[in-house]
Amino acid sequence: MKFKNLANLFSDLESTTKRLEMIEFLSNFFEGVKKSNKFEDLDKIIYLLQGELVSNIKKFPKIGLAEKMIIDALSLHSGIDKKKVKEILIKKGDIGATAEQILAKRRTQMSLFDFEESPSELEPSLEISELYTALQKIALSEGTGSQDVKLGILRGLMRKCSPLENKYLLRIITSTLRVGVSTLTIIDGLALGFTGIKDNRNIIEKAYNFHPDLGDITKILAEKGITEVEKIGITYGIPIRMMLASRVPYGEIIEKLGTPLTAEYKLDGERLQIHKKGQDVKLFSRRLLEISEQFPDVCKTLIENIQVDDVIIEGEVVAMDSFYEKMLPFQVLSKRRRKYDVEDIIKEVPVCLFLFDLLKYKSESYIDKSFMVRRKKLEEIVSERDELRLVKSQLINSTDELLEFFNAARTEGNEGIMAKSIKEDSIYQAGNRGFLWIKLKGLEGGKLKDSVDVVLVGAFYGKGRRTGVYGTYVGAVLDPVEGKFIAFTRFFSGLTDELSDSLTKEMEKYKTEKKPKSVICEDIPDVWFEPEVVIEIIGDEITISEKFLTLGYSMRFPVFQRMRPEKGPGDITTVEEIRSLYDSQ
């Protein structure tokens, strides 16, 4: 497919904030693809719509093109002085929009060299497959002369693109291609465009939860139909989207889950999905990234102590003291993220893996089995030792028992507890946040005991002692249906001078001159950020907000708790959870 067709779709999607209009644009586009019967680029189209080059479960080399090189390429291609390009970039705040403006005005002022190679810029000829091949060449080029090679490839791509295509080409290269469309909206468009039946979105979404590569699923849908998509299930080596927990006031947990229920300790570690097939073990984070290299000791322990060759299980890895008696905070575990000196880090930060669920056993999926069936089978196959244990659990029959268990969990240094239904319908809801699991991290009282995960979307420059760094940040929560990040609160408390310095440097990578389309915020910070970095905050209470009117709520006296590098923007606290926290007060 020609890249210009996709660029036109991007432009249409950017022209609206209405979800129904986006679905219509998408469904019409996919219907056209279906009629053309040409599906070779479908997966790439889906990834780009999601703002990525590939899905999380696949790897694409980093493009590695600095902004300076892109400005050089744009200057050479357009004949505009680099200083002028930078001036326009500062005003536009976006390299793609900068390129579109410059090239729309200077289309006829190509150099003789460019003219000979590209007789007519009015007839773009770039194919999507050609774009991907070129991007891979750029990413893989290294060593002496590689910068010139990269610059040459980039200019070659730009010559084959119209101003509009160059806008999105450069956004792709700088990882800023976000057209404001959520994955759920794309799924709605796929259902209508390829099947004509909107309700088929449930089948596609379920398949995506089991196989979180929407590009793969779309090609199956296009080539084999919805019945083949319906057959997609849990597979070894491919992480499924993890089940999430909801929040309700502790007094309503029994009402929601019934009795008896199971309560488990909620640990302060990193959640892992473990795929063991023979002697091969893969560990996936909650962002579905393989992180096995961070925990070779955990892989070895699993091989030695899980008494079955083929199994998919879930657990939480926690930093421990040298005697494996006391659990240490998540900040200690974060040292395991270092890519070098792994053996030294293993000695410095010993860990224990606490298991709590089973998703597949040999050739049989356990996803649709009740929780107690999954837990019983898990207990059968695990040989416990210092480095490998089952999460502590207890059957609960009353709110008093629940509170007693909660207090015991907190006394032992845990975040709180997870209350889980054990009814017949207590299946594993991949990718969903239902009411089969409920997390409890604090009780009602003088302060809001439960923390909130927000994504940073803006900041204000610091004053006084904080001059030169960002002093106050704006955090947003997630509307998963609309795919929007809704501003929730400002915060500055809890940030040490050292952390303020490091966070300011980190956020430069996500700085953008205008508010991202996926962000809804009535506040006007000095700097906007692409919503990527997740942090945890705590406060006194959730209040009605006169500043953040879209959400309608904010946090009183918010305090920074910690960075959450293991979480992505899609894992943060939702709008509904904020409402629930407010109601619980």
Q: Which residues are catalytic?
A: 266
Cα 468 from Cα 470, distance rounded (Å): 7
Q: How many CA atoms lie within 13 A of 305 on its CB side?
A: 21
Tokens 């596609």, located at residue: 204
Nearest to 305 by CA among 378, 392, 391: 378
C-beta separation of 571 from 453 below 8 A:
yes
What distance in Å separates the CA atoms of residue 374 and residue 381, rounded to the nearest whole number?
11
Torsions phi, psi of 5, nearest 5? -65, -40
8-state DSSP, 141: -
What is the rounded distance in angstroms from the CA atom of residue 515 to the CA atom of residue 505? 19
- SS3 call for 316: strand
Q: How many CB atoms lie within 10 A of CB 480?
A: 15
Q: Which two tokens stand for residue 89?
A: 């970039």
Q: What residue has token string 């597979």? A: 235
Q: CB of 534 within 8 A of CB of 454?
A: yes
CA 179 to CA 183: how far, in whole Å?
11
Other CB atoms within 10 Å distance of the CB of residue 72: 17
DSSP string, 273-315: EEEEETTEEEEE-TT--B-GGG-HHHHHHHHHHBS-SEEEEEE
Beta-sheet pairing, 527-529 with 470-479: unpaired
Give the closest residue to 165 by CA, choosing from 48, 33, 54, 18.
Answer: 48
At 265, is the secondary structure helix, strand, or coil?
strand
Q: From residue 288, how far is each of 144, 166, 346, 430, 431 by CA, in Å?
A: 35, 31, 23, 13, 11
Quick one: DSSP state of residue 392?
P
Q: Name which of 433, 448, 435, 421 is nearest 573 in CA terms.
A: 433
Distance between CA 484 and CA 487 in Å, rounded?
Answer: 10
- 3-state DSSP call for residue 434? strand
Distance CA 570, CA 477 (A): 10
The encoded tokens of residue 226 equal 């919805």
CB 393, CB 378: distance < 8 Å = no
Distances 78 to 81, 158, 304 between C-alpha atoms, Å? 9, 10, 62
Q: How far apart are CA 347 and CA 304, in angstroms?
A: 19
